[in-house]
Amino acid sequence: MNNINITIDGIKTAVPAGYTILQAAKELGIYIPTLCYLKDINEIGACRICVVEVKGAKALAAACMFPVSEGMEILTHSPKVMAARRATLELILSNHPANCQICDRSTNCELQAVTKKLGVREIRFEGESIHADIDEGISIVRDNNKCILCRRCIAVCKNIQTVGVIDAVNRGFNTTIASPFEMPLGETPCVNCGQCIVACPTGALRERSHTDDVWAAIADPDKYVVVQPAPAVRAGLGEEFGYPIGTPVTGKMATALKRLGFDRVFDTDTAADLTIMEEGTELLNRIQNGGTLPLITSCSPGWIKFCEHNYPEMLVNLSSCKSPHEMFGAVIKSYFAEKEGIDPAKIVTVSVMPCTAKKFEAQRPELGKDGHADVDYVITTREFAQMVKDAGIDFRSLEDSDFDNPFGNASGAGVIFGATGGVMEAALRTVADILNGNSGTDIDFEAVRGVDDIKIVEVEAGGMKIRAAVAHGLGNARKLIEKVKSGEEELHFIEIMACPGGCVTGGGQPVQPASVTNWIDLRAERAKAIYSEDKNAPIRKSHENPAITNLYKDYFDEPGSHKAHDLLHTHYVARGKYQ
């Protein structure tokens, strides 16, 4: 790529052709504030906070969109630029609620950060106060009072996820972000993925909190509260306590959960191993007995709801397996309750998830037995971190500890569920061994790793060729399913994760500002934590986990048994356009 010579704030430099002014400034370590800009997602220059002065231009240019050209001279903090930015920011602040102290995003709000960076200490304009009703759904809460109309939520919902249930309506000062016909978000085809939350620069979008319910359960002497954190939680949790992105904090996480007062602390990774046993068996049965193919994984509740709304004809392709944390909830209220002599009615199961869609999933009537939900409460990684802070626990000073028995062990295959391609790789490790009739040593299926939009691989084992595909992000899922429907791709097995990058960048994970996500690939960095745990795990295959083999020996007999189907499998429902 050819380089272009430009001058920024008196500094001569050469940058690749096609760069924007914002990218060029970043190369030189020059700060240009942004609010609406999300790289490759929302590049519309709407907020005007990033304006710069270009010599010879009649108007200030939006740095996030304006391409560099040969000989261009740019000023990023001239008096004219600073005055324009501050005026724009004051106008935004003029009708924004001044309740930062009690906002979920306080100290992690991009509007707050830009205000401090630009040194705005007074507001010259008196804006009209907004009094919007708060839309509180099962998973997601929308508070338009805090919305700054950056449209980042719209872009990620429409362009990345292809769900498109929110958009800008009305014009001028009456513009707002709304669902079709002003319906509550929960009455739309929203899949609860929460990608809008992690895209939002302010507190206009957040998860519905269940921490008060969990605190109450812990404090109730008649309740036996069991908690399970998902694989991806350990890859993001540390960020809430100042650790670098991609730092695994598994041992401290387990200790923190015990310090909060949970009666037992188990690991969803173990249930991921259980899922592989059931799903792998289901895959082989379908291949060998002429069942419906391709089999599509059912671990991602955002994908499941997306399929129910958009591809009801593909529901027969979905694995009947419950997602890992739901399987675990069922096991805890059956096998574990019997083993420990505890009345299932007194057990409260809590899942710590990187995902807001798990909140919707937990209340599905299909996921429970004898009037007991498999999982009672779901809290996100962010909610868990807040509970630790509320309890006054110094997370960084905690010693590492292990998960509790009888589910204290999980395989490396279980932990990689947290990254896109992980479910596929875990399944292939087990399926390959079953078909080959031995324990193979080549277990790193690296072809399904990484953040390519769609990955297609062919694996040969036991004389059988298995064609498999991985897609992450619902826009990519849509592309893959359309290829399957048209006959362009013939596959045996498909893994789909609703969130781009998989669970490591789920809607319940710590929110990083655009100043980080525009330049660092969170998907790849957090996945490193996942794969490092797998690489160092003493057991790396689900079917070799003794906790799982003992569970089948003591309770389920074998994968796919009648008892296993009764507790570990479910069904899904076709949904209308607004259902």
Q: Which residues are catalytic?
A: 279, 282, 299, 319, 358, 361, 366, 503
Task: Give CA–CA dist 42/196, Å, rounded.
Answer: 12
- DSSP letters of 82-131? HHHHHHHHHHHHHTS---GGG-TTTTS-HHHHHHHHTT-------PPPP-
The residue type found at 316 is: V
Q: State the residue for tokens 């289901």.
A: 282
Cis preceding linkage at 180, omega within 30: no
Task: Give CA–CA dist 369/371, Å, rounded.
Answer: 5
227 CB burial (10 A radius; 0-12, 13-18, 19+): buried
Is the distance from CB of 409 to CB of 547 less than 8 angstroms? yes
Residues contacting 539, CB < 8 A, separation 6+: 409, 411, 412, 545, 546
Task: Give CA–CA dist 395/385, Å, rounded.
Answer: 9
Q: In what order do the strands lie in the sheet with 3-8?
A: 11-16, 3-8, 73-75, 51-54, 61-62
HEC secondary structure over 52-64: EEECCCCCCEECC
Task: Give CA–CA dist 89/111, Å, rounded.
Answer: 9
If one counts every other C-beta atom within 10 angstroms of the C-beta of residue 112, the result is 19
Task: Give CA–CA dist 336/70, Å, rounded.
Answer: 69
The residue type found at 510 is: P
Helix, strand, coil tally for the chain in percent (to 5): 45, 15, 40
